[in-house]
A = this chain, B = another copy of it.
Amino acid sequence: MSQNAPLGIFDSGLGGLTVAREIAQRLPHESFVYVGDTRRCPYGPRDLSQVEQYVREICTFLQDKGVKLIVIACNTATAAGLELMQREFDIPIIGVIEPGARAAVRTTRNRKVGVIGTVGTIQSSVYHHAVKALDAGCQVMSVATPSFVDMVEEGLAFSDEQSSDVTHGLRVPPNFDEIATDYLGPLQDEEVDTVVLGCTHYPLLHDPIAEIMGDDVVLVSSAEETARDVSSTLQRRGHEALEDHIPTYQFFTTGDLDRFQMLGSKVFGRPLDSLELLDIDYLESLIDPHKE
């Protein structure tokens, strides 16, 4: 395994680019291969066993690309497939749920933590278990906020500037306040002081969510803590890229190339220089159906 081998990062779409961006900032010598499975996005409402199969396909694709570590930068995919992929693959695979839970446990003062995520993530109760494993005395209140993913994808399409702040490019839809107040009311009633943005799309809605939750509530995302985990894992194994290594970022999408370039560059904060189409049929062919 070459130290300069790329990392693999993937998501159902654009949200994982918030994690990729954090990794690129924190680990400036590391290359990565990013897959955004936009054609099958969102994963949230799908059956977890279906998502698990998608995760297996993409992990296989990334492994074939010679990555030294995989980040499942998608909460639903982590909930559906992390454990199984860790058993099936030899390279380290890091999800975003445990890091997010850890960030929340360390942040909360009143030990009342809210979690928002897709239906798949919330129904799996993975955040609940991950928080309780770290602090058994912490109360966890989980709410599914499925419309937020569409709002991000649509809001990005309507934004027209490429901002250095990851949330600024997004135009918040006019019905956001109404829907968000409805979603977030129960968390406010429970007086949570920390909310986990349990979907990698949600950091793009950080500011409007923060406005509704108020100054006393801290919003935490998995991105920073996940990037730390990647850093620590590479360091402890001696797999860090060399300091003179000039990183390359290779992006693949299963969906529309132009759209991914336009929206992705807003989230990633710079143009996606190398972007290619990843064919779904090819992805599916990577898994031998007789193995299932």
Contacts and interface: CB of A to CB of B under 8 A. Distances in A.
A49 B180 CA distance: 46
B136 A236 contact: no
A107 interface: yes
State how many copies of this chain the complex holds.
2
Given A106-B229, A229-B106, A135 B237 contact: no
A136 B83 contact: yes
A134 B83 CA distance: 9
A137 interface: yes
A137 B89 contact: yes
By secondary structure, the A interface counts as: helix
B135 A86 contact: yes
Interface in A76-119: 82-84, 86-90, 92-93, 98, 103, 105-109, 111
Interface string A137-157: 110000000000000000000
Contacts of A108: 237
Nearest to A104: B236
Contacts of A277: none
22 contacts: A82-B136, A84-B136, A86-B135, A86-B136, A86-B138, A87-B136, A87-B137, A89-B137, A90-B111, A92-B135, A93-B137, A98-B133, A98-B134, A103-B236, A106-B229, A106-B233, A106-B236, A107-B236, A107-B237, A108-B237, A109-B237, A133-B133
A237 B220 CA distance: 12
A226 B256 CA distance: 46
A232 interface: yes
Contacts of A87: 136-137
B137 A237 contact: no
Contacts of A136: 82-84, 86-87
